[in-house]
A = this chain, B = another copy of it.
Amino acid sequence: MDLATLVGMLGAFGIVVTAIFLGGSFGQFIDVPSMLIVIGGGLMATLIRFQLSDVGSAFGTGFKVAIAGKGASPRDLISEITNLGEIVRKSGPLGLENVDVSDPVLAKGVQYIADGYELEFIKEAMERERDLQLTRLSEGKRIFKALGDSAPAFGMIGTLVGLVQMLANMDDPAAIGPSMAVALLTTLYGALISNIICIPLVEKLDAKFDVDELSQTLIIDGVLQIRENKSPALIKEMLIAYLPEKVRAELAEAA
């Protein structure tokens, strides 16, 4: 689990809810038609930009990735791959059959080796899988970006609709305040959706993209080197070159 995403999102909503309770009743902040305009309208305007089939899955993938844990750190991946290389050196590809592997992509690669597939086949299959996953990630990003743009726009549209209705019927002065309060709710909803969910998720997915690209490329290269029967020491040395300077320094400290 990526605690930062969850803590941040729940925390931000919690803070706003607390502030609402401190100031009065929570009920006056719930208005179903207002939600309909902002969430429904924002989703519809997002829909226009994409293919019908892409939207649902992209939302799901985007959200899942955003709250998913980091998986094994590059440091752990390298030592795991080095261990696997040692096993193959000792007992051949068949030695991998019953090994427990933490990362699903690495597990798949290990299975390929155990099954005796050709180097070229493993490379192509794993790279295709990686590209597919990265494409889904960047589509998820684009969709949250579109919703983050259109939700505040529909918030404003909803407020304008409410203002026009209030202004056209000002016979009862006592109703002006509450009507205007309701009119402002759509703007509030739009701001919450955009600033608590969409904009931060877009930046999170952006960062995850880079991390995933690195670790999956590292795994693919490691699997290929195991397949080629390279010595564990050599594998380790080559994989460390993938790490950014910062992680390499931590690795050196830990050593």
On A, residues with C-beta under 8 Å from B are 2-5, 7-9, 11-12, 15-16, 18-20, 22-24, 28-29, 33-34, 36-37, 40-41, 44-52, 55, 70, 127-129, 131-132, 135, 146, 149-150, 153-154, 156-158, 160-170, 174, 176-178, 180-181, 184-185, 187-188, 191-192, 194-196, 199-201, 203-204, 207, 244-246, 248-249, 252
Closest chain B CB from A238 CB (angstroms): 17
Which of B3, B176, B180, B200 lies in contact with A52, CB distance below 8 A?
Answer: B3
Q: Could you tell me if B15 and A164 are in contact, using CB atoms closer than 8 angstroms?
A: no
Q: Could you tell me if B163 and A49 are in contact, using CB atoms closer than 8 angstroms?
A: no
Given contacts A22-B33, A37-B16, A161-B19, contact A195 B45 (CB under 8 A): yes
Give Cα A184–Cα B201 distance, bound, in whole angstroms. 28
Q: Copies per complex?
A: 5
User: Which chain B residues border A154 with CB–CB below 8 Å?
Assistant: 12, 195
Give Cα A44–Cα B34 distance, bound, in whole angstroms. 25
Q: Could you tell me if A47 and B146 are in contact, using CB atoms closer than 8 angstroms?
A: no
